Structure 1
Amino acid sequence: MGLHTRTIALSIALGTAGLCAPAHAQAPDPCALYLCMASVSGQGSPSASCTSAIQFWHTPSPAGLAVWTYYPVVKFWEDISYQVRQQYMNNCQGSTNTPGNQAISNAIMSQWGRVP
């Protein structure tokens, strides 16, 4: 097998290996996050499918919505986390498009917006 053929075969093998790589968790849809956070804020009860959305809310950024710094000291940034969470959740148009939904969004943020 020539060098050119081996290079092509290696490229194909590495490309195929990438297709078999394990899937990584993705951020929940902002509307799913809104519904799940509403359920833990007294608007129903959370389903098992809410586990990842609620975990995303509390996971440190950049993988989640809780903003922490670790150097020179460990610190949770309440106000910045509040803003990041509200902005993410407001990407769901349904969270703010009616007075009732806006009230639920406000309740979520007042109860959970500044919680690590």
Structure 2
Amino acid sequence: MAVMFSVIFYTVLAVAAFYFILLQPVLKQQRQRKKAVRELQIGDEVVTTGGIIAEVKDVQTPTDSPTELILEIAPGIHVRALTDAVERRLTTLEPTSEETLETIATSVSKVNDPHA
């Protein structure tokens, strides 16, 4: 009886270890990827699973079919893609404030003119 309990205990322990060490990180990464894709907005740059870098121009979410993206892969060239085709988001472009631009300009001028 004790031997059978021991075998069952170690089997359950091995399965739990497998889940937490190998499976859980993969599932967490998948959840993060799906969340990032769900939050795509017009203007975001994405990389598709085929390695194409494109800008999101439109997001269409019909009720009876998967979400589609209209991607611009070159100026004036648009393609339709499913969200499953998006590998990751590159960046979200954020407007730069005037204060930040002035700080950058001041820093650059100091580097270019060491006597200032």
- TM-score category (smaller protein): 0.3 to 0.5
Higher relative contact order (CA 8 A, sep 6+): 1
TM-score by length of 2: 0.33
Which structure's CA Rg is the greater one? Answer: 2
TM-score by length of 1: 0.33
**By percentage of residues, which structure has more strand?**
2
